[in-house]
Amino acid sequence: MSESKKEDTGTAEGKDHGVLYLGIDLGTSRTSVAASNGVRATVPSFVGYPKDVVSKKLLKKDVLYGDEAIEKRLSLNLYRPLEHGVLKGSTDGGGDEGNMRAARDLLLEIVRRAQPRKDELVYAVIGAPAQASIQSKNAIVEIAKESVDSVMLCSEPFAVAYGQDMLEDVLVIDIGAGTVDLCRMHGTMPEDADQLTMTTAGDHVDQELAKRISESHPEAQFTTQMVKSLKERYATISEVVERIEVNLPVNGKPTAFDLTEEIRGACRTIVGPIVDGLGQLIATFDPEFQDRLKNRVLLAGGGSQIKALDTAIEREMHERLGGGKVMRIEEPIYGGADGALKIAHDMPQEFWEKLK
């Protein structure tokens, strides 16, 4: 990377020339990294292993990641190791071997994409859902130890707020695939009472869209991956939208379907629960500062890219909470990773040494 980009990343270079600092957003759908050497990378959170000797000969690889794994999934044992933002099976302190291996390999890959030098120590801050259990957090720390020298976890919405320098009287909405994390910031580290995690997120929209397509067009054939791609391309809650016509197979023949209402309706289902959560965090805040909090709502995460979502949340806040102002962050894919990197920069060197 250019020298100018390295300088832009903050204090890490001056802090320790032998350390590479990473901010990692370990997501259900997508994992992103921002590094103190200026590198940023993102990969869909899928890991695949060849099913047999034939697929291994065809693919010429022992493990595939992201889009390549999705594309070759018929030849693979495919894993999406995170569910609702935590390692599958880790909530009871267990965790199945396949998903743990896939999560470990996914972290190794995202660290590799950050391009660390062989002589560098790697210190990482990893974003986790706001209300992830202790067992889930411990499982993430354990698998991370194989790819980094020192690691700490932080709440994903807190990382977003930290990256935006919005640490006082702000409500963060971080919409991922597995979870929607809400966090209120009031000039201190957020406590449990300041945070909420809900599962009405991107995967919920996919399920809702699949259900609506099946009800409206029972003859249409589609997969979960096709539905997810449709959502990512066309997601909108706008009242005024061009007709969304897509081709889906019917008995092997591509057939045109108007899915405008199905897509808009599925996307709209996340608005109510988000405003419920915002209302809960506002109502339990100091009454003197409730209006200020209500008018500083920060929308982040991959799900924030749904067209007109900010105005839909605002509208419902006005109806139910008497007002509100919603702002989108500029780079939703990297908001959590950038914030986590900033936290890593600001941690004293002694702190990282203790964690090693």
Q: Is 215 exposed, middle or buried (0-12, 13-18, 19+ CB in 10 A)?
A: exposed
pLDDT at 62: 95
> How many Å apart are CA 37 and CA 156, to the nearest integer?
22
Domains of the chain and any CATH numbers: 3-162+334-355 (3.30.420.40), 202-268 (3.30.420.40)
> How many Å apart are CA 332 and CA 273, to the nearest integer?
20
Tell me the pLDDT of the chain (356 aa) as tens digits. Answer: 222 233 333 443 445 569 999 999 998 899 999 999 999 999 999 999 999 999 999 999 999 999 999 999 999 999 999 887 678 766 554 557 889 999 999 999 999 999 999 999 999 999 988 777 778 888 899 899 999 999 999 989 999 999 999 999 999 999 999 899 999 999 988 888 999 999 999 999 999 999 999 999 999 999 999 999 999 999 999 988 899 999 999 999 999 999 999 999 999 999 999 999 999 999 999 999 999 999 999 999 999 999 999 999 999 999 999 999 999 999 999 999 999 999 999 999 888 988 77
pLDDT at 83: 82
146, HSE (Cβ side, Cα atoms, 13 Å):
15
Question: How many other CB atoms are there within 10 angstroms of residue 170's CB atom?
Answer: 22
- The DSSP code sequence of 291-318 is HHHHT-EEEESGGGGSBTHHHHHHHHHH
> How many Å apart are CA 239 and CA 219, to the nearest integer?
28
Helix 202-216, helix 260-268: angle, nearest 10: 140
Q: What is the pTM of this model?
A: 0.87
Compute CA distances 133 → 12, 104, 337, 340, whole Å.
30, 19, 21, 19
> How many Å apart are CA 222 and CA 216, to the nearest integer?
13
pLDDT at 246: 96
pLDDT at 90: 62
Assigned token pair, 264: 């808009």
